[in-house]
Amino acid sequence: MSEVSSMSQNSNSRIHPKLFLLYLSFGSMVMLFSAFCSALIVRKGDVRQSWLDTPLPSPFLYSTIIIIISSITIHLAYKFIADKKKFKLYSLLTLFLALVFVYFQWMGWSELQSKNIFLSGNPSGSYIYVISWVHGLHYLGGIVVLTILILKFRKIQIEIGNKMSFNILMQYWHFIGMVWVFLYLFFKFIIYN
């Protein structure tokens, strides 16, 4: 009898396979963005290269604030997942904020272009485009999954498997948000100060 209970305790303490895959993907994303940031530091320090400081567009600050708020709203959606009305409110608010984030990113890129800073120009501007675009693609993936889960939860009763799916999305959302906050602070205070 004690063997059975110890086996069930061991199986309960294991991480869910989907969460394990999520955490592995976090590791690969950390390595990807670390490589980008390292390359940016090396490129800026290359004395043979003409480096023109690029002012960081102000819409990136607004998008940083928005992504932090959306992290709060997705957490509230998960907290109230059993209450369809509150879940719907917070998940739709998160989706709206995510679209506002994308809008401000777009405005940041437009501001760069209006200052004649393009992807193929000076490396200081190129890195802003590449790093923010790659982050944006990760964020768009989260928006797609959030939209699917909102539509799915509208039609069915929330079950444990669905709650796990939303938990995975919420953790991904928090992680992507932290990555953007780091990137913004990295750009603002280390590279383009």
Model pLDDT for residues 1-27, shown as the tens digit of each residue:
444 444 444 456 788 899 999 999 999
State the Cα–Cα distance between residues 33 and 16, nearest whole angstrom. 26
Residue 169 lies in a domain: yes
Q: What is the pLDDT at residue 44?
A: 85
Residue 5 lies in a domain: no
Residue 43 lies in a domain: yes
What one-letter code names the amino acid at 67? Answer: I
Q: What is the pLDDT at residue 48?
A: 64
Beta-carbon neighbour count of residue 28 at 10 Å? 9
Instruction: Count up the domains in the chain and report the number.
Output: 1
| CATH number of the domain enclosing 148 | 1.20.120.80
Residue 6 lies in a domain: no
Residue 8 lies in a domain: no
Domain of residue 95, residue span: 16-191
Residue 135 has pLDDT above 50, yes or no: yes
pTM, entire model: 0.87
Cβ pair 53, 163 in contact under 8 A? no
Residue 30 has pLDDT above 50, yes or no: yes
